[in-house]
Structure 1
């Protein structure tokens, strides 16, 4: 298959409507005196007071009085990071009206989800897309015995890549989940295909940030931390498309995007950025491009 890249659409407060409340902490007030360690919500972010007697200090402008903790629970799924998750119980829905054509939706690094329904609702044409996917658990190893008796693993990622492009459509995502569920990233955007196909020889790896300490007696202490996925791929590109491919790759530098490398091996797909790419012009009609991809840190 061709390499498919989905660049996320930045979701703003004006674009989003959701069932997830934003009541993590009280809203910041210029008239309230805050104690040390008190937390407030301002600008869809959580702020923590670093000292007592904190009154009238606007958090974004006073780093001696406030420290930014991170996004509110509602917005953790839209901060483009795996390390934060929007958590909820039972069910949830999200509506995103981007004001531009969206043909791809992805939920990444989730847990506890049972099903997801994606709809595209255009103000003029009504519902132009409606598809529900049951997120079945899968066995860790292929075969009838593991399927019947083995440990089953939850899916962690979901992609819907066949949405029609309607500029004014609202993307609605309805989720049924367990009593404690979380979503790392909700990604909506436009997909782009790059090249004629991914060549054989893809390299898949991982960078582990866990710590291993050995004391003077040889005792080992292991501390499990996050990790990131690494991919090294080569593409075959028609020579007449090389300028466009170079422009696409240049436009997504230092940008987390969804890289869909294979439709056969789901684990080959990764959400992250490329560290570098090299174009080798060695044939009259076909050109090879090698890309080094590094995923965002996962837990």
Structure 2
């Protein structure tokens, strides 16, 4: 069982992106000479955020440095892949046929993508001179038809999360591309960083969903379900080596309250993707409960709640 502790993707670590700073349907870049009325919006390309004015006659108070005049109301299309949520998406709205990112790969060993919409994903790891050190292409088409009817008549389905483990470099670039010919490629969340092996997961592993759909009843008693977002849930037990009990505890304490990537299907170092595993058993989230047992075996029981 592995946990990947993400590196913060700062503007300095983001080398390039295929998405424009502003999509045509988004507010315009903040203009210091403009007088903004209350509730008017602007965007700031440097932060990839959209801000809403809190006051009338708002001039000369640029966001985000003046929180008494502006409130952030969300990320731009270019920035949604790097916010805190899986269900807010950066999309290829210009019809390029792909979304591509380049990140500073120094000191990292793996990357996980969530909320993916595409037919395939390509990865490249480049050294400081631009030479390819490692590369991987993953076809996202699911080959899990249940019967002949499913095979003949169902619409093709594609995986929505991807994982790749790559060699450690002191200096280099990670490039990935989500392909969807015709446009509309999508990415909900990307996380990359260093993996830590904690132990061996015991089966069975409990999986589930935390559903935020609402049951709404009007004044006439008519009831309908308003479909909401959801988060993945994992409950599992991990067995720790005798000489690693304290180390595992320190790692788990250091990530409390932090969304990290959990890979609980006992992937070995030779398995650099989720091939042969289950997408369901990779979740980006935080543990909501932790309990340890030290006896003839050393175990931690964890409940992990994914981010929405």
TM over 0.5: yes
Q: Secondary structure at the match of 1:244?
A: helix
Q: After the TM superposition, which residues 184-263 of structure 1 pair with which residues of structure 2 at under 5 Å, given as runs?
A: 184-195=188-199, 197-214=200-217, 218-262=221-265
Residue of structure 2 in register with 1:292 after alignment: 303
Instruction: Report deviation, 1:92.
Output: 2.5
- Note if 1:106 corresponds to 2:104: no
The answer (yes or no) to whether the contact 1:205–1:229 under 8 Å persists in 2 is yes
- Cα distance in 2 for residues equivalent to 1:292 and 1:206: 12
**1:89-143 superposed Cα distances (whole Å, 9 cap, x missing partner):** 3123211014x322111210122x122111111115821111112221444x534
Distance 1:134 1:200 in 2: 28
> Match for residue 98 of structure 2?
91
User: What pairs up with 1:110-129 in 2 under 5 angstroms?
Assistant: 110-111=116-117, 113-124=118-129, 126-129=131-134
Shift of 1:272: 0.5
Matching residue of 2:20: 21
* Residue 75, structure 1, aligned to residue 79, structure 2: yes
Shift of 1:144: 4.7
> Residues 134-213 of structure 1: matches in 2 within 5 Å?
134-139=139-144, 141-161=145-165, 163-178=166-181, 179-195=183-199, 197-213=200-216
Distance 1:55 1:106 in 2: 41
Give ranges in structure 2 of 5+ residues lacking alignment: 266-275
Shift of 1:51: 4.1
- After superposition, the C-alpha distances for 1:59-111 in whole angstroms (9 at most, x for unaligned) are 3354453221122222211123213211113123211014x322111210122
Structure 1 equivalent of residue 4 of structure 2:
6
Question: Which deviates more, 47-56 or 198-207?
Answer: 47-56
Aligned counterparts of 2:146 and 2:32: Cα–Cα separation in 1: 59
Q: Is the 8 A contact 2:81 2:90 kept in 1?
A: yes
Contact 1:101 1:169 in 2 (8 A): no
Cα–Cα, structure 1 residues 153 and 125, in superposed 2: closer, same or farther, change >3 Å?
Answer: closer
- Report the TM-score when normalising by structure 1: 0.88
Name the CA shift for 1:216/1:124 in 2 (closer, same or farther; >3 Å): closer
Distance 1:57 1:261 in 2: 47
Q: Aligned partners of 1:15, 1:118: CA distance in 2, in Å? A: 17
Give the unaligned 5+ runs of structure 1. none
Does the Cα contact within 8 Å between 2:87 and 2:115 map onto a contact in 1? no
Mapped to 2, the partners of 1:47 and 1:60 lie a distance apart of 8
Q: Deviations over 1:18-44 (max 9, x none)?
A: 121112433223222223443222242
> Aligned ranges for residues 41-80 of structure 1 at < 5 Å?
41-42=43-44, 43-44=46-47, 45-80=49-84
Q: Distance in 2 between matches of 1:223 and 1:83?
A: 16
SS at match of 2:180: strand
Residues 148 and 192 of structure 1: CA distance in aligned 2, closer, same or farther (over 3 Å):
farther
- TM-score normalised by structure 2 residue count: 0.86
